[in-house]
Amino acid sequence: MIKKFFITGTDTNIGKTFVSQILLKKATQNGYNTAGYKPVSSGCKKTSFGFLNNDALILKKNSSVILNYKEVNPIFFFENAPPHILSQIYNENIKIKHLSIGLKKIMKKSNWILIEGAGGWYTPLSYTNTFSDWVKKEKLIVIIVVGIKLGCINHAILTEKAILSEKLKCAGWIANNIMPEDKYNLYYIQTLLKYIKSPLLGVVPYLRNKDRINLKKIKIKLPK
Q: Is 48 annotated as a binding residue?
A: no
What is the rounded CA–CA span in Å between residue 175 and residue 220? 10
Tell me: is residue 14 an annotated ligand-binding position.
yes
Catalytic site residue 95?
Answer: no
Question: Is 10 known as a binding-site position?
Answer: no
For residues 148 and 175, the answer to whether their CB atoms sit within 8 Å is: yes
Check the annotation: does 214 bind a ligand: no
Distance in angstroms (rounded) separating the CA atoms of residues 173 and 194: 13
Annotation-wise, does 34 bind a ligand? no
42 is in an annotated binding site: yes
Residues 133/160, Cβ–Cβ less than 8 Å: no
**Residue 205 labelled as part of a binding site:** yes
Active-site position among 38, 70, 97, 161 = 38
Is 176 annotated in some ligand binding site? Answer: yes
130 is in an annotated binding site: no
| Among the listed residues 224, 157, 164, 153, the one whose alpha carbon sits nearest the alpha carbon of residue 187 | 153
* 172 marked among binding-site residues: no
15 in a labelled binding site? yes
| Binding region | 13-18, 42, 55, 116-119, 176-177, 205-207
| Binding region for Mg(2+) | 17, 55, 116
| Binding region for substrate | 42
| Active site members | 38
| Binding region for ATP | 13-18, 55, 116-119, 176-177, 205-207
